[in-house]
A and B are shown apart, each in its own frame.
Chain A
Amino acid sequence: MPKKVLETININKYFYDPVKFRVLSDINMSINEGEFVSVVGKSGCGKSTLLYILSTMDTAYEGELLINNVNLTKKTDKDLAIVRNEHIGFVFQFHYLLAEYNVLRNVMLPGIKLAKYPLKEIEHRAMEHLRTLDMADQALKSPNQLSGGQKQRVAIARALINDPIIIMGDEPTGNLDKKNSDMVFDIFNNLVKERNQALLIVTHDPDFAARTHRTIEMADGKIIS
């Protein structure tokens, strides 16, 4: 039986402003390692909200969240930061690279923070990731000098640096054209195949979703399929 990397038990979330409103109701789901899962749904159905809860950045929810079989509900900000650093990789719709650092350094940053390997080793691993993503020749450029698709690949490399057990994406292709979007999909697909990492991608793109292993469809804060 494959190992569960992420599991939720009865997650509920409310927005209180302007009136009390139930955004997520009784979310129960799990993701196994090596699984490529997409989350689809209309705008406002709560899919991004769910993703931020799963990413541990949003802690204002009811219910329980387990990553790597560790219950993260009620952990401190500091502990959650360590979990994010070590076990979760992020790719956002917008690229969110640090303009102060060059591409290589951006990729290395979470690795330096984790400090599992010496700096030289981190640099080597970062270059390896950039090479697989065909970005090695851009390593010393500043993020501003890259195109949108290139930036997204750098962001993916950064998400991979600490070998996370799960990679989460909030519409990572939402801002890209068809060609770049396909490229990002292929990269994700390879990750699942070669590294056995889990992927959880929120998307609007039905084509993208159709090609993933499993699609979770949401409506009005509930998982409908």
Chain B
Amino acid sequence: MNFKLIIDIAINLIRARLKQSIIAAVGVTFGIAMFITLLGFMNGLNNLLDGLMLNRTPHVRLYNEVKPSPDQPVLISKEYKNNINFIQSIKPKDRGREIYNSKAIINILKQDKRVIDVAPKVTAPVFFNTGSIEITGVVNGIDVPAEEHLFKVSDYIIEGNVFDLSNENNTIIIGKGLAEKMLVKIGDVIKITTIKGGLVSLKVVGVMQIGIAEIDNTMSYTSLRTAQMLLGESASYITDIQVKLTDVLMAPEVAKEYQEKFKIDVIDAQTANSQFETGSKVRSIISYAVGITLLIVAGFGIYNILNMMIYEKMDSIAILKATGFSGNDVKWVFISLSLIIGIVGGLFGLLFGFGISNIIDIIPFETASLPTIKTYPIDYKITYYVIGFTFAVCTTTIAGLFPALKASKIDPVEIIRGK
């Protein structure tokens, strides 16, 4: 088949009906541009919100859960083995929150190829004293370089420097809400009471803001050593081991494996943040649905215009057939015609979509709760552009297919005799 000639005929048909063809192409352009903008914007927001939680939570966390012992004495007893035992008012066992043999566990984890890095942590509930008032809060003792490597804590420090924690003992970085309540600034000394009753003075070296008020009102960071000292524990006292993996999707599987290996409670990011996953998924589905609807509407536009064009061009089709074009050739003329409209419209759509995304990307979006965000977030993932373009080409081909089949079946004799 002579495709060059067929495409030449298609282009000439478009030129003869340029206005309508442009309108059809604009339909596709609009559909694609909206599809890309919508997905980019939606997923930009999704990533931002996910990042807010996910980037700060470890992929896998090892800790000791407060829970009752699974083996109650009566169940172990041989005497009552065949009875049905009801036990009421079970209380959790005090196993302490310390992870035993934490050093060895960390060493094994660090050798695992799937693990990017491991950060040990000590969390301790405390009271912050200001005047006669006690504010409940949490102290997170962190290994500063590891924590920075995994969670980029410095992003959330709005005053001071996170590395001052490790440079100087007895220092603390407190949440913005806490700092405002206690009216303290960098360099001030605050008093902290531990739940065991000890009183410690710590120097404030920074203020942080995560953007979630509840956390900013209670959270504080110290070095690992300071937190251990605060609790009167030794340098081996660790309550959490945080692990970041090369691929977050492996987390549930890895968590299960560690749980069996170390006989310790392990939670993965997916389980810990399941509600966020659901939210993102629903938002994605909505934006895909809207985008695809737009493209289908554009497809109907092309279908209409091609149908009209075929009625107008009956004579030309008859002539083409009489001079040696087969039904198949005529079909391909109209399919290429709609493909040209789809491809041109689609390419402009990609361009406009990128343009609109860029414009949204520079619109200021400043909110107190998100200190690291200055403009609306946009996701420029190439996948959206590929999906959008593929879908545009598919819809236009299908929209063109029916009129093209109709054109290929036109009987030239009927038209030539009909005059």
Contact = CB atoms under 8 A, between A and B. Distances in A.
B5 A81 contact: no
B81 to A, nearest CB: 85
B321 A57 contact: yes
B413 A52 contact: yes
A96 interface: yes
Nearest to A106: B319
Nearest to B409: A77
Interface in B320-368: 320-329
B324 A84 contact: yes
Given A100-B12, A170-B416, A85 B324 contact: yes
14 contacts: A48-B417, A57-B321, A77-B328, A81-B321, A82-B324, A82-B326, A90-B323, A94-B416, A96-B416, A99-B16, A100-B9, A100-B16, A110-B323, A158-B323
Contacts of A101: 12
A100 B416 CA distance: 19
Nearest to A105: B12
A126 to B, nearest CB: 13
Given A55-B322, A78-B327, A96-B322, 16 more contacts: A52-B413, A52-B416, A52-B417, A78-B326, A78-B328, A80-B326, A81-B324, A86-B324, A90-B323, A96-B318, A99-B16, A100-B15, A101-B12, A109-B5, A109-B323, A170-B416
Nearest to B412: A57
A211 to B, nearest CB: 25
Interface in A172-192: none
A110 B413 CA distance: 18
Contacts of B326: 77-78, 80-82
Interface of B: 2, 5, 9, 12-13, 15-16, 315-316, 318-329, 411-413, 416-417, 419
A38 B324 CA distance: 23
Nearest to B328: A78
Nearest to A85: B324
Which 6 pairs from chain A and chain B are nearest by CB? A85-B324, A81-B326, A100-B12, A110-B323, A78-B326, A84-B324
A84 B323 contact: yes
A185 to B, nearest CB: 22
A10 B411 CA distance: 24
Contacts of B12: 98, 100-101
Contacts of A109: 5, 323
Contacts of B316: 98-100
Contacts of B318: 96
A171 to B, nearest CB: 10
B2 A115 contact: yes
A77 B327 CA distance: 7
A168 to B, nearest CB: 10
A112 interface: yes
A194 to B, nearest CB: 23
A113 B419 contact: no
A81 B416 contact: no
B324 A114 contact: yes
A60 to B, nearest CB: 10
A120 to B, nearest CB: 15
Contact of A93 (B322, B413, B419): B419
A57 B318 CA distance: 10
B87 to A, nearest CB: 85
Contacts of A52: 413, 416-417
A142 B319 CA distance: 17
Nearest to A48: B417
Nearest to A168: B322
A58 B16 contact: no
B5 to A, nearest CB: 5
Contacts of B412: 57
Contacts of B321: 57, 81
Contacts of A113: 2, 5, 323-325, 329
Interface in A49-86: 52, 55, 57-58, 77-78, 80-82, 84-86
Nearest to A113: B324
Contacts of B5: 109, 112-113, 115
Contacts of B416: 52, 92, 94, 96, 170
Point out which of B316, B319, B419 has the most chain A C-beta atoms below 10 A from its C-beta.
B319
A58 B413 contact: yes
A62 B109 CA distance: 86
Nearest to B416: A92
Nearest to A112: B5
Contacts of A98: 12, 316, 319-320
Contacts of A93: 419
A115 B411 CA distance: 25
Interface in A35-55: 48, 52, 55
Contacts of B411: 57
Nearest to A170: B416
A84 B327 contact: no
B153 to A, nearest CB: 68
A93 B327 CA distance: 23
A176 B13 CA distance: 29
A101 B417 CA distance: 23
Contacts of A114: 324
A94 B419 contact: yes
A30 B12 CA distance: 40
Given A112-B2, A112-B5, A96 B324 contact: no
B50 to A, nearest CB: 54
A180 B78 CA distance: 121
A84 to B, nearest CB: 5
Contacts of B323: 84-85, 90, 109-110, 113, 158
Nearest to B13: A100
A151 to B, nearest CB: 12
A81 B325 contact: yes
A148 B59 CA distance: 82
Contacts of A78: 326-328
